[in-house]
Amino acid sequence: MNFELITEDHGARRGQLNFARGVVNTPAFMPVGTAGTVKALEVSNVLETGSEILLGNTFHLMLKPGDTIVKKLGGLHRFMQWEKPILTDSGGFQVWSLGKLAKINEEGVHFKSPYDGSKHFLSPETSMEIQNNLGSDIVMIFDECTPYPATFEEAQRSMELSLRWAKRSKQSHGSDAALFGIVQGGMHEDLRKHSLSELMAIGFDGYAIGGLSVGEPKEDMVRILQDLQTHLPPDSPHYLMGVGKPEDIVSAVAFGIDMFDCVLPTRNARNGQLITSFGELNIRNAEHAQSSQPVDESCACKVCQGYSRAYLHHLDKSKEMLYSILSSYHNTFYYQSLMQSMRDSIEQGEFAKFVKDFYNKRQQSLPIYLKHLEK
Ligand SMILES: [Zn+2]
């Protein structure tokens, strides 16, 4: 993988990740294919939304169907019929989310499968092996996601364990795939900066920011991102893991982030929440029962070009499968259009105007941390 920074505007970056499997234009949003599928979407649908890279889950795929089976069947790309690049997470976040089902020590994490109670072990070495078996294009180091809230001492202990695991991940990473480090350190700027500089000393192809969007107030996330912005290496891609809402993605792009992933567009779609240029729309509201309007008039997706809100309301109410398919399609398309608009605006030197328009359409005022874009 090679990263090319094309241009910058007000801190926002327009770049390109070049892989043998294709180009990923940044800022990029990666739909999440948890179990080898972006829920409710066929690969042809995912391509139509403009997605250029997907995220695959180590944790879920190692348990079902098993990474050695995926490898035997030609790797994850072949298995799910997705030919463009795939980033795999390391499984660290999911085992951390298991709580009592997981036991962490220096060596790694012993855990019980939430599916059938079977015993498993993940460590930097096994995570690298599994991600290689899947045939990932971007491998993530195995880290510990620092719990929130955490004291300085707790966050420091966790961050240092992650650094030792980062070294082991690098040593055991045995493929041509890109390897990304993950900055931890809780809500403490000093720990975050230490984590980043140690990771840079080890040397990675990209730098991710983990342990955010874990329940902290938005001000904390913004403070950490603002502080890291000037320290992240400019010639490497910057990836904010697990974020999130459109407004958070827009802010993070303003702080120099290039890559995002989140289950929000597909998960919220299935729960009735459609994401639009004017904010969130709950299709379950009775007001949509007879509406001939599309979900979002300014959306170019095939759902908004053809179907009415009333039809989607009806499909959801009737628990029809097509509801999940159409709503997931629209939401994913919206996210990719948002990324495309941001890329265009950065290229044209109009990112500040884009951000103002984004908030205007949502009838929201510019948050205090983006006020510098008003000038
Ligand atoms: Zn649409």
Which fold is adopted by the domain 2-261? TIM Barrel (3.20.20)
Q: How far is CA 307 from CA 87, 298, 328, 331, in A?
A: 33, 14, 14, 14
Q: What is the pLDDT of residue 316?
A: 98
Q: Decide if pLDDT at 97 tops 90.
A: no
Tokens of 355: 């951000």
**Cα–Cα distance, 24 to 181 (Å, whole number):** 19
Which residues sit with Cβ closer than 5 angstroms to ligand 1, an ion?
Answer: 299, 301, 303-304, 330
Helices (H) and strands (E) in the chain, counts: 15, 16
- Catalytic positions, written as ranges: 89, 261
Q: What percent of the chain has pLDDT over 70?
A: 100
Query: What are the tokens at 123?
Result: 């460590």
Specify the pTM.
0.98
Q: What is the pLDDT of residue 99?
A: 87
* d(C-alpha 119, C-alpha 215), whole Å: 29
Give me ligand 1 centre to Cα 271, in Å: 16
Q: What is the pLDDT of residues 55-74, one digit of tens each?
A: 999 999 999 999 999 999 99
Phi-psi region of 11 (alpha: psi -120 to 50; beta: other; left: phi over 0): left
Instruction: Assess whether pLDDT exceeds 90 at residue 100.
Output: no
Query: What separation in Å is there between the alpha carbon of 306 and the centre of ligand 1?
Result: 9
Nearest C-alpha neighbor of 143 from the set 128, 121, 163: 163
Q: 147 falls in which pLDDT band (50, 70, 90)?
A: confident
Query: Taking the alpha carbons of 339, 344, 346, 349 in that order, is the dihedral positive or negative?
Result: negative
Q: Is the pLDDT of residue 96 over 90?
A: no
Which has the closest alpha carbon to 362: 340, 329, 325, 334?
Answer: 334
| The pLDDT of residue 141 | 98
Q: Which two tokens stand for residue 273?
A: 């929440």
Across the range 209-225, mean pLDDT stands at 95
Q: Do residues 158 and 184 make contact, with C-beta atoms less than 8 angstroms apart? A: yes
Ligand 1 center to 329 CA (angstroms):
8
For range 65-88, the mean pLDDT: 98
C-beta neighbour count of 363 within 10 angstroms: 8
CB 199 within 8 A of CB 207: yes
Which two structure tokens, joined as six digits, stand for 357? 């328009």
Q: Is 302 exposed, middle or buried (0-12, 13-18, 19+ CB in 10 A)?
A: middle
CB distance 283 to 264 below 8 Å: no
- Rounded to an integer, the average pLDDT of 157-175 is 97
**4 CB neighbour count, 10 Å cutoff:** 13
Q: pLDDT tens, 343-361?
A: 999 999 999 999 999 999 9
How many Å apart are CA 257 and CA 276, to the nearest integer? 22
In Å, what is the CA distance from 324 to each residue of 117, 246, 265, 296, 315?
Answer: 30, 20, 11, 17, 9
What is the token pair recorded at 59? 């944790």
Q: Which two tokens stand for residue 8?
A: 């910058």
Residue 326 alpha carbon to ligand 1 centre in Å = 9
Tens-place pLDDT, residues 272-301: 999 999 999 999 999 999 999 999 999 999
* CA nearest neighbour of 139 among 165, 169, 168: 169
Chain centre distance of CA 215? 16
Residue range 131-148: average pLDDT?
96
Q: Dihedrals φ, ψ of 277, to 5°?
A: -70, -20
Whose tokens are 């951000």? That residue is: 355
- Residue 239 Cα to ligand 1 middle (Å): 26
* CA terminus-to-terminus distance, the chain: 37
Q: What is the predicted pLDDT for the residue at 261?
A: 98
Q: Using the mean position of ligand 1's atoms as its centre, give its distance from the Cα of residue 266 in Å.
A: 13
| DSSP class of 123 | -
**Complete edge-to-edge strand list for the sheet that includes strand 22-26:** 2-9, 12-19, 22-26
- To 5 degrees, how large is the angle CA 349–CA 354–CA 356? 125
Residues pairing with 274 in the sheet? 281
Q: What is the pLDDT of residues 286-343, one digit of tens each?
A: 999 999 999 999 999 999 999 999 999 999 999 999 999 999 999 999 999 999 999 9
User: Cα dihedral angle (177, 225, 213, 90), rounded to 10 degrees?
Assistant: 20
Distance 205 CA to ligand 1 centre (A): 35
Q: State the pLDDT confidence band at 375, using cuts at 50, 70 and 90.
A: confident
Expressed in angstroms and rounded, the spacing between residue 325 Cα and the centre of ligand 1 is 12
Residue 21 — pLDDT band, cuts 50, 70, 90? very high
Burial of residue 153, with CB atoms counted within 10 A of its CB: 0-12 exposed, 13-18 middle, 19 or more buried: exposed
- Which residues contact residue 30 at a Cβ distance below 8 angstroms, ignoring those fewer than 6 apart? 51, 53, 54, 55, 87, 259, 260, 261
The domain spans of the chain are: 2-261, 269-373
